[in-house]
Structures are given as C-alpha cells and as structure tokens.
A and B are shown apart, each in its own frame.
Chain A
Amino acid sequence: MRLDPFYPIVDSAALVARLVPLGVRLVQLRIKGAAEAGLRAEIRKAKAVCDCYHSTLVVNDHWRLAIEEGCAVVHLGQEDLALADLAAIKRAGLRFGISSHDRAELAAALAVAPDYVALGPIYPTALKPMRCGPQGLERLAEWKSLVGSLPLVAIGGLDPGRLAGVFAHGADSAAAATDIVGSDNPEARTRAWLQATAWRR
C-alpha cells in the first residue's frame, strides 16, 4: 500500500469536507465515544467526500461500520486490535494499519501482516494521554530497520518544521493531528503541510 506523505487525522466529516478539496489524498477519520447512528452518518459523509475527490479515507477503530459502509482502509490502535476481527476485515478486502509504541507492540502488529505500521509519539503530543514518553527520531530509524519495506507512519507532535527529520529517519508518511485539528485555521495548516510534503509525493 502506498501512503501519501501527508496523513491528517481529523474528528469530523465536516473537517474532511473542508480539507480534502485542498489536495489531501489520505485522511483518517478518528471519532471516539460516539453512538453508532451518528458514527455511521459521519463515516458515510466522509467517504462520499473522499470518493468524490479520489482520496483515501481511513476509518479509525470502527471496522464493522467501515466494512458496512464500503470503506477501504481501517486503522487500529493496540487496544482496538485486541477486539477486532481481523479475519472479517481481511475477508471484506479492507487494508489496515496498526499503531505501535514499543517492540512488543510492533511484534504483535507485524504478526498479523498489516498494510502499514505507525510509531508514536515521536514528539510530545496533546492528542491523547500517552503511556510512554516521546519516542524520538532514533526510534523511528530503529522501526524502519525492523519493518523493512512495509510503510511506516510517524505520529505525535508533528508540524511542518519537524518533517525533514522525520523523513530522513525512515518515515514514509507523517501524521498530523493536533497541529491541524487544534488550529483555528485548519485550512491554512493543511496547505502548509501539503507544501512541506510536496517533495515526497
């Protein structure tokens, strides 16, 4: 699976609709703690936008809804992985990525043959409470040596200024969460990221 170097993670279909038309080719919809009816509507709307713009939508965690709504890719955190029916995901033809924070989690991820692996947090992050401290760029290089040609996503505390280091240390794609969602001008941040990753596209 070839990943675009810019991988924004957003929390609503509305944001997908605002950002994808700017040239975003890969986007993750990550919504936690919502009821199924609302989630389905959000996934459906986000997918409609991505289909229209020929972008790839990744659904975080809600693999059953992703299958039902015809989505192509899901992302599973380690906790999600424990509860996911990977056989069903594979049978439905979906691709999937998995998060990792240490060697044990990486091994668990690689054991199920994902389409990509993520490592985080590279830098301190506000996205969610982390069990471990920042991984740093050296860890990224270590991960790349272990995953080989499998696409590696770097996540956690990233902004355009940190991308040169991230790509130099082996990341294939850089995830943007707080830098975009937490901004009061997500369009401007998205444009900055698109520019900063242009040379890797």
Chain B
Amino acid sequence: MKVIVNGEAWEVAAASLAELLTELDWRGDWLATAHNGQVVPAGERAHCRMAEGDRVEILSPMKGG
C-alpha cells in the first residue's frame, strides 16, 4: 500500500508502524513517530495498524535554539 513518510510517498507491505520502520530501515531508539498527526510511543508501534494513504512522521534529535 502507498503511505506518506516524512512527506514522501512510499510503497510498503508493513501491517504496523513498527514493521514499517524495519521495512524502510529506520532504526535507533532516538526516533519519535507520529501517525496521522498522533504521537505513537515506541512501545505502541507494533499495535499501530497501517492503512492506505496514512501519513507518518519519523523525527530525530537535531540542534536548534
């Protein structure tokens, strides 16, 4: 199915957000994820079901004032 990750379209097979991260090679315990505008804590990613057209944001620490 087609999903939008960080503003870009991707074709994925993942059924959950956790699987999506693995499938697209996003790794590390410093990542924050949001699914359709809602925060999904790391522990809940496996239970977050993916659907066609979902928007996902994957963020990590960066400098800033």
* Direct A–B touching, Cβ under 8 Å: no
Which residues on A are within 8 Å of B, measured CB to CB? none
